[in-house]
């Protein structure tokens, strides 16, 4: 099982704030912004570059979940906003090989990212 599968199975504790049949969202253990939530598919796709055609619904569900979670956290407005990040592979800084979307919010975020 991946680390995130263990969190979804409640084998490892996490602050879970949303869950449905497709995805689970919980606060990152090492937040990089006042709000830093990970949105994780229930299917353990290693990374977005390894997703296949049959994952289309799962991938769509991830973005829909991101919007729902942003609303739940009160940042789904143009005047506030949020950033979604997917790290794919070593150069991008991926550390957990289970696809996840970072939702960052609560402060002004630099662009371009480092």
Residues designated catalytic: 100
| 2 binds ligand 5GP, rule: CB under 6 A | no
For position 69 contacting ligand 5GP by CB under 6 A, the verdict is no
Q: Which of 18, 28, 51, 59 binds ligand 5GP (CB under 6 A)?
A: 28
Nearer to ligand 5GP, 29 or 64 (CB): 29
* Contact between residue 101 and residue 84 where contact means Cβ atoms under 8 Å apart: yes
Tokens standing for residue 17: 């704030």
Q: Does residue 91 touch ligand 5GP according to CB under 6 A?
A: no
**Distance in angstroms (rounded) separating the CA atoms of residues 52 and 55:** 5
Contacts (CB under 6 A) with ligand 5GP, residues 29-48: 29-30, 38
For every residue of 20-79, DSSP letters joined together read: -SSEEEEE-SS-SSSEEEEEEESS--S-GGG--GGGHHHHHHHHHHHHHHHHHTT--STT
Residues near ligand 5GP (CB under 6 A) are 3, 12, 14, 26, 28-30, 38, 87, 93-96
């Amino acid at each position: 099982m991946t680390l995130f599968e263990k969190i979804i199975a409640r084998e490892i504790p996490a602050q879970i704030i949303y869950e449905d049949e497709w995805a689970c969202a919980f606060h990152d253990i090492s937040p990089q912004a006042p709000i830093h939530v990970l949105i994780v598919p229930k299917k353990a796709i290693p990374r977005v570059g390894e997703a296949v055609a049959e994952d289309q619904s799962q991938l769509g569900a991830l973005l829909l979940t991101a919007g729902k979670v942003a609303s739940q956290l009160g940042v789904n407005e143009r005047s506030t906003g949020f950033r979604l990040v997917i790290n794919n592979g070593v150069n991008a800084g991926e550390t957990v090989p289970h696809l996840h979307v970072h939702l960052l919010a609560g402060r002004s975020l630099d662009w371009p990212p480092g």
